[in-house]
Copies of this chain bind each other. A is one copy, B any other.
Amino acid sequence: MLNFSKKIEYGLIALRYIALIGDGNIVTAKEISDKYKISYELLAKVLQKLAKAGIINSFYGVNGGYTLAKSPEKIKLSEVILALEGKSNISIVTCNSDQPESCTIFDRCTIKTPLNKIQSVINNMFSEISISEIL
């Protein structure tokens, strides 16, 4: 119920690999997917999203691949999650903004406001933890 998605797990594994093994050198998606036996297509998409978010640099063509765009200390877990899940925050409830969205009891719900406190504790944690802590 509170699991990280595979996208995030694979993303973290990849970032770790690029940071540690790559260490400045270009690393390809294939290299990582082979190493960890992760679906190439899936991992490729994860890397594309990380590149789009400016977390890693991407290089086309024959000797192409990826490098980190900044030092591991500066890559926060929150931005990895944002890049891969596309949500503005890691929301404990689906109704965080103010639209009823999908929840049928939105206007009668009594817990969404107090739950924001827990939300901010989680947000703070994720924005403080950098991927250098998983190296």
Contact = CB atoms under 8 A, between A and B. Distances in A.
A49 interface: no
A9 B81 CA distance: 23
Nearest to A6: B103
Interface of A: 1-5, 8-9, 12-13, 16-17, 35-38, 77, 81, 85, 87, 90-94, 104-105, 108-111, 114-115, 117-118, 121-122, 125, 129, 133-135
Nearest to A4: B92
Copies per assembly: 2
A99 to B, nearest CB: 16
A109 B134 CA distance: 12
A38 B108 CA distance: 10
Given A2-B91, A108-B35, A121 B125 contact: yes
Nearest to A38: B105
